[in-house]
Amino acid sequence: MKSMRSRISTWRIPEVGKEVPMYVQRAFRVKTFALLSLQQGLCFTLMVLLRQIVWDGQPVKKSAMVEGLYYLLSFGDMVMIMQLWLIRSSFPYNYLMMIVMTCVTAVLWSLTESVFATLLHMELVCMTCIAMGIASLGCCVLTREFFKCLSVHAVPIALFIGWLTASVGVVLVERLTPLEPTLKDWEPWLASALLGLLLLLLMFEGRLALMRSQPDDFMGILIIMNGSMMSVVSVPFFVIIYGFLYMTREEDSDPNSVRATEEEEPQPYLDDVPHPLAVGEP
């Protein structure tokens, strides 16, 4: 008979080869996308505060020092993403590292306007925050019994609704209420296209984690998204991050492979099993 701890573990994380219950998948996806929305929202808030309060609503004047600081912060952000990947299962250090990384990312992306003379990065972070929040709500609704026919495709549908809502919302706000005179008309459209590509990459890279729905994969999805967003800052750093992730990623074996391996292991013959000597036997 299984112990109480074994039964609880089996209830939370099913045994190898068994399908994860839908309520476990729903809880994992809702929490994962909500965590991403919260992290991007914190980053966006810090970016706005830095620009509007610390720098009086104007970009920092471009100089060799500012550009050097920008690339230094880019390198530091890349290292933090790698370190977060290594400790992604170590609570609470993974969340502490996530907060520090978010603060560094906010400072880095605030300097992007000075280096590249665009607010594209700010629109992208805002869209990502909205899209992840909508996706979290969508996964919560689409995996209910009423939408049973859509539950299999809940993640792509929820992400598409989130992307569409965020894109339309930001474009309309930019068109109807020009809050920033330096904002170019094409920037929201480009931010929308970039977000669409990032979400496609997230679905491809995080598909196993979203199906497996294990608590240790919460931070992994967040790292994939933040690593992908580095492509907007520096393509070489993006390539380095993904190379590092692929080299250090644990191999996700087929659930039936463990069973097959056990079956293929040679079993000892009865003649090879040592047996106690009989009384009087030399």
- Assigned domain for 10 exists: no
Cis check: omega of the bond before 92, within 30 degrees of 0: yes
- Assigned domain for 281 exists: no
Tens digit of each residue's pLDDT (9 = 90 or more) over 53-88:
887 777 778 788 888 898 899 999 999 999 999 998
Residues whose CB is less than 8 angstroms from the CB of residue 102 and which lie 6 or more positions away in sequence, other chains included? 39, 42, 43, 46
- Assigned domain for 270 exists: no
Please report which confidence band the pLDDT of residue 259 belongs to, taking 50, 70 and 90 as the band edges. very low
Tens digit of each residue's pLDDT (9 = 90 or more) over 35-48:
999 999 999 999 99
If one compares 111 and 163, the residue with the highest pLDDT of the two is 163
Range of the domain at 133: 20-242
Tens digit of each residue's pLDDT (9 = 90 or more) over 175-211:
877 666 666 778 889 999 999 999 999 988 888 888 8
For 216, other C-beta atoms within 10 Å of its C-beta total 14
If one compares 89 and 251, the residue with the highest pLDDT of the two is 89
Domain count, the chain: 1
- Assigned domain for 70 exists: yes
- Assigned domain for 238 exists: yes
- Assigned domain for 278 exists: no
- Assigned domain for 178 exists: yes
Q: Which long-range contacts (CB under 8 A, 24 or more apart) does 217-222 make?
A: 217/28, 217/32, 218/28, 218/31, 218/32, 218/35, 219/84, 219/88, 219/89, 219/94, 219/95, 219/98, 220/85, 220/88, 221/32, 221/36, 222/32, 222/35, 222/36, 222/39, 222/98
pTM: 0.77
pLDDT of residue 100: 94
- Assigned domain for 180 exists: yes
* Nearest-angstrom CA–CA distance, 98 and 243: 20
